[in-house]
Amino acid sequence: MTQTVLIGLDGATFTVLDGFMKDQPGEGVVMPFLARMIETGYSGTLASTAHPLTPPAWTTVCTGRTPGAHGIYDFVRFEDLGDDVFFTLYDARDIRVETIWQIASHAGKTIASLNFPMMSPPPEVRGALVPGFVSWKHLRRNMYPQALFDRIKAIPGFDAKELSWDFEREGQIGDVMEDSELYRWVENHLPRDRQWFNIARTLLEEDDPDLFAVMLDGTDKIQHQAWHVLDPELWDPAKGEDARAVRALVLQYFRELDGYIEALVTAAGPEAHVIIVSDHGFTGAAKVVRINEHLGRLGYLEWRASDGSEQSRRRDMANFANLDWTRSRAFCPTPSSNGIVIRRKSEKFPGGVTEAEYESFREKLIEDLMKLTDPDTGAPVIKEILKREEAFPGAAMEESPDLTLILCDHGFVSVRNRAPTVVTRPVPLGTHHPDGIFVMTGPGVENRSGQHLSIVDTTAIMAHALGLEIPADFEGRVPATLYDPDWRAENPVRIGAARAEAGAGAVSTSKEDASAEQKEEMLAQLRLLGYIED
């Protein structure tokens, strides 16, 4: 019998969900089942990782460790070659610690894990693992076990192209779309979650794993682009017909999502502990902050010379740092990172910052960045700057950005070489907020709302709900208020041995095993995402 169910909702926020769980004029109650879960269960906000981004945050859920320990900071990582920088995707082989899927498997538990990013190539587990962020062409070879693909393919309505990541479509996130175009974009995203739900229900009902986990990410994609029809402070029912049509379609998605949650909870049975979490929350971002353009003005970096050609123009507009690497000492590598990298002196880059000057260089950089203001209001556009030892303490800290920027509206920076440095969007786009959601129901769970948890607590709670010892080096805890006293007395929290570096080399495929086709696929995906130039 399934003991624990984890349903991940990428980017879910109570800012949106609160309204959907109430009777709204002309719209009714969009998510009645989630409302009942919260009415009878334990719920509250879930603080994300220091930089609330999908890969590091979901990897924290999967490992119980913050990025400074697990080593995932972004969608892409880079190698500084001195006169150039090489970008490539993070994957499971970069995770420095064991996942909860591996820990549960070693303890004799069966698992099913679906659609979590950074899980490819998959580790060997007792059960099934289908990673997210994988092209449809490589789904079979990236599942564990590979024979699972034939089972999934037999599910009525299965379509691999609908199921997997569409890099070209996702590359449009952040673009301003007319509502008529946005309707088609949202419509194209709905089948993806339906596919994952069909697989989830099949494996839950047929395999009955001890730990079942699925992540649905339509919430994130839709909120990025359709925030203006979701945010209660922005939505106006008197808006045009196209905007009303987009909102109706978005409500359809959330109604279907509520149905997916209900079906999975019902399939798991009344004795299962059900946990619903998001990797981060959401809010609206009105500002565009071109951080590398600003660093160039301050003299910290130099742009690659442009000859006026179309190729040069595309390089300048790409979503990665298009710099003269022989003369740049500090830069932001990607818009998703919100990080500033200080390039250290080395044999490859003799012009880098020396150890002796690092602290003074970093303090001056922080001082200069904090002076950046909004020309419309005169207010600072950077709310806070976190040093790496503050944001990402741990064995993997040296791989993190030296500084992490928190903008005034929590938006992502731009790395493009365009002026002016700060502009205001005509319509706010959805962006990540550090406060996600936590909901839990099941035997012994207290009926409390308005609680405050950390994203690392999720993994400790999962382990405890499975009856496992919580590894001593997990960074989260099981809240004392989560269970009623009788349940807690009968099921005490037990702390086990540390498992810090046990994840190294634990995956079933080595880096050298990647085929030439896979490597080219990775490069093609990066081009579509804008992280490398053509």
pLDDT tens column, 217-253: 999 999 998 999 999 999 988 888 999 999 999 999 9
Residue written as tokens 């250290």? 344
Output the pLDDT for position 134.
85
Q: Please give the pLDDT value at position 516.
A: 46
From residue 205, alpha-carbon distances to 185, 264, 490 in Å are 32, 9, 29
- pLDDT at position 58 is 98
- In sequence order, the 6+-apart residues with CB closer than 8 A to the CB of 390 are 50
Per-residue pLDDT tens for 5-35? 999 999 999 999 999 999 999 999 999 999 9
What's the CA gap between 334 and 323, in Å, rounded? Answer: 12
Taking a C-beta distance cutoff of 8 angstroms, is the pair 130, 143 a contact?
yes
Residues 429 and 282 sit within 8 Å (Cβ to Cβ):
no
Q: What is the pLDDT along the chain (534 residues), one digit of tens a residue?
A: 899 999 999 999 999 999 999 999 999 999 999 999 999 999 999 999 999 999 999 999 999 999 999 999 999 888 899 998 888 889 999 999 999 999 999 999 999 999 999 999 999 999 999 999 888 888 889 999 999 999 999 999 999 888 865 555 444 445 567 888 899 888 888 999 999 999 999 999 999 999 999 999 999 999 998 999 999 999 988 888 999 999 999 999 999 999 999 999 999 999 999 999 999 999 999 999 999 999 999 999 999 887 778 777 777 666 566 799 999 999 999 899 999 999 999 999 999 999 999 999 999 999 999 999 999 999 999 999 999 999 999 999 999 999 999 999 999 999 988 899 999 998 889 999 999 999 999 999 999 999 999 999 999 999 999 999 999 999 999 999 999 999 999 999 999 988 765 444 444 333 444 444 544 554 454 444 433 333
Rounded CA-CA distance 88/522 in Å is 8
Geometric angle at alpha carbon 250, from 26 and 282, rounded to 5°: 110
**What six digits make up the tokens of 459?**
């993994």
Q: How far apart are the first and last CA of the chain?
A: 51
Q: Is the CB of residue 97 less than 8 Å from the CB of residue 112?
A: no
- What pLDDT, on the 0 to 100 scale, is given for residue 308? 79
Domains annotated for the chain, with CATH where assigned, are 4-280+434-529 (3.40.720.10), 286-431 (no CATH)
Position 512 scores a pLDDT of 40
Pairing of strands 470-471, 495-496: parallel
pLDDT of residue 307: 79
Instruction: Please calculate the CA angle 165-416-55 and round it to the nearest 5 degrees.
Output: 35
The CA-atom distances, in angstroms, between 99 and each of 68, 129, 455 are 15, 12, 15
- Strand stretches in 395-471, DSSP E: 403-407, 422-433, 435-441, 448-454, 470-471
Tokens of 1: 């019998």
The confidence score (pLDDT) of residue 534 equals 32
| Number of helices followed by number of strands (H, E) in the chain | 18, 18
Rounded to an integer, what is the distance from CA 376 to the centroid of its chain?
Answer: 32
What's residue 42's pLDDT?
A: 98
The residues near 479 (Cβ < 8 Å, ≥ 6 apart) are: 451, 453, 457, 461
